[in-house]
């Protein structure tokens, strides 16, 4: 069974966006484009991750595979529900403030 001690970072730029790295790896070693998109990484948690570990929004085996292949796993926020987007439009809100 695959297992890895991982450090989980929360994005300073995007809500509900997390990055999983091997604990021994440095955030500074990530590709520049990813760091620009993610912003400053705020450490959330260090944990032993195994393939059978239950995570809230992602499959642990998928995280471990991505870390093995790419050196990281990026967890993006869940898609917004369509009806919530309609409510947003009905209130007259815009993306421009």
The domains of the chain, with CATH numbers, are 3-90 (3.10.510.20)
Instruction: Measure Cα distances from 10 to 7, 19, 20, 57, 69 in Å.
Output: 10, 7, 9, 14, 21
Residue 15 corresponds to which tokens in the numbers above? 């809500």
Beta bridge partners of 45: 8
Helix (H, G, I), strand (E, B) or coil at 41: strand
Is pLDDT above 70 for 83?
A: no
Residue 97 — pLDDT band, cuts 50, 70, 90?
A: very low
Assess contact for 27 and 40: CB atoms under 8 A: no
Residue 1 — pLDDT band, cuts 50, 70, 90?
A: confident
pLDDT in tens, 6-59: 999 999 999 999 999 999 999 999 999 999 999 999 999 999 999 999 998 899
Q: How many CA atoms lie within 13 A of 44 on its CB side?
A: 14
């Amino acid at each position: 069974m695959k297992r890895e001690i991982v450090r989980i970072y929360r994005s300073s730029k995007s809500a509900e966006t997390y990055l999983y790295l091997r604990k021994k790896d440095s955030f500074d070693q990530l590709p520049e484009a990813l760091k620009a998109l993610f912003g400053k990484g705020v450490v959330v948690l260090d944990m032993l991750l195994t393939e059978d570990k239950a995570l809230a929004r992602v499959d642990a085996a998928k995280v471990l595979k991505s870390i093995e292949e790419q050196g990281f796993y990026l967890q993006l926020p869940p898609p917004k529900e369509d009806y919530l987007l309609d409510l947003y439009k009905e209130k007259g809100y815009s993306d421009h403030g």
